Homo-oligomer: A and B are copies of this chain.
Amino acid sequence: MNKKITIDDVARLAGVSIKTVSRVTNNEPNVRADTRIRVSQAIAELGYRPNPSARSLAARRSYLIGLVYDNPSPSYLINVQNGALTACRAAGYDLVIYPCDYRSASLADDLARMVQQSRLDGIVLTPPLCDMGVVTDALTEIDVPFTRVAPADEKFADQSVVTNDTEISRVMTHHLLDLGHRDIAFVRGHPDHGAVCNRYEGYRAAMAEAGIRPRKEWVVQGFNSVDSGEECARRLLRGAARPSAIFAANDDMAAGTLRAAHALGISVPGTLSVAGFDDTPMARQVWPALTTISQPIRRMAASAAELLLRRLRDQSSDDVSRHLECGLILRDTTAAAPQVRQVG
């Protein structure tokens, strides 16, 4: 076990001072090219790895980024995590995860405590926490930089990564309209979840553009879960006047809609078209496979982490893509509206 190779060993082998070795490992300027090479060789030869604790202690930074979330969707989280992790590792940082409860009264305090305890250099905030004033205020107060993934508002624009969420919802609604649907219901997302909530705007815009004013009772309030989606769909499908399409603000609620349709013996997409949003793994796994919208979650999280890292290094963040595009995924739950079929 040669676990104990320190900067001194490298310095000795390369015939320089430890400071020069430090300069090389940190890519600092003002090292002659040949010196740099000599040191690099010594590092490689010995298999030297700087001790992160010593480095942190001396440099007064932890090389740790925190990922703070309260999101019940495992696939979302895993994607966010992987994206952020990739970006962090590439920059020599590590990622520390903080699940939390966004409804907790002590949220801001808990967060501040954890952040200071681990001496995090920065924080990546995901929905719905990125939209909470108490959170952003607390972080601002203790002076910890943060970036936001898919915030619902326009604040901190240069510290946020966003998608064309609302716009793509409009496109999806037009897709349904193009299939001949006129009676399109919408299952709204959880009111606490700003981004999911905004998707409704796209639906409303498209309907307005088509000159259709949806019945009031066809816009229902869900809570992002499969169960709430099922319940909403049952309510929508119970009445005599049934919509021919249901657009749910997320896949879970769309899956709930599918369950309701199955249970009520309504054929999808023959009688009812269903659309979701998120392209979770489940979207492909339910039957029929769900038409939905895919978000580049991984890349969003990676960008958010990169944005943060740039800021930590005082570099310009101009070349980090902060706007990413969602895409329509057409599968098997949307088809021509019943009356359109009769025209054919």
Contacts and interface: CB of A to CB of B under 8 A. Distances in A.
Interface stretch (A70-78, A122-130, A182-190, A300-308): A70-78
A241 interface: no
Interface string A20-63: 00000000000000000000000000000101111011000010
A119 interface: yes
Interface stretch (A160-168, A204-212, A256-264, A270-278): A256-264
A286 interface: yes
Given A78-B78, A82-B99, A97-B81, A258 B281 contact: no
A117 B52 CA distance: 8
Contacts of A287: 258-259, 262-263, 286
A17 interface: no
Contact of A57 (B57, B97, B117, B143): B57
Interface of A: 1, 3, 49, 51-54, 56-57, 62, 74-75, 77-78, 81-82, 85, 94-97, 99, 116-119, 142-143, 226, 252, 255-256, 258-259, 262-263, 281-282, 284-288
Contact of A286 (B74, B263, B286): B286
A239 to B, nearest CB: 22
B52 A143 contact: no
Contacts of A1: 142-143
Copies in the complex: 2
A3 B61 CA distance: 13
A75 B97 CA distance: 16
Contacts of A75: 74-75
A82 B49 CA distance: 30
Nearest to A67: B97
Contacts of A97: 81, 85, 95, 97
Contacts of A119: 51-53
A67 B116 CA distance: 23
Given A51-B57, A78-B77, A259 B285 contact: yes
B57 A54 contact: yes
A262 B287 CA distance: 7
Contact of A49 (B56, B77, B95, B116): B116
Contacts of A284: 226
Interface centre among A74, A82, A142, A262 (most CB of B within 10 A): A74
A54 B54 CA distance: 7
Nearest to A58: B53
A259 B263 CA distance: 15
Contacts of A82: 99
20 contacts: A3-B142, A51-B57, A52-B53, A52-B56, A53-B53, A53-B57, A53-B62, A54-B57, A74-B75, A74-B281, A81-B97, A95-B97, A96-B96, A97-B97, A226-B285, A259-B285, A263-B287, A282-B282, A285-B286, A286-B286
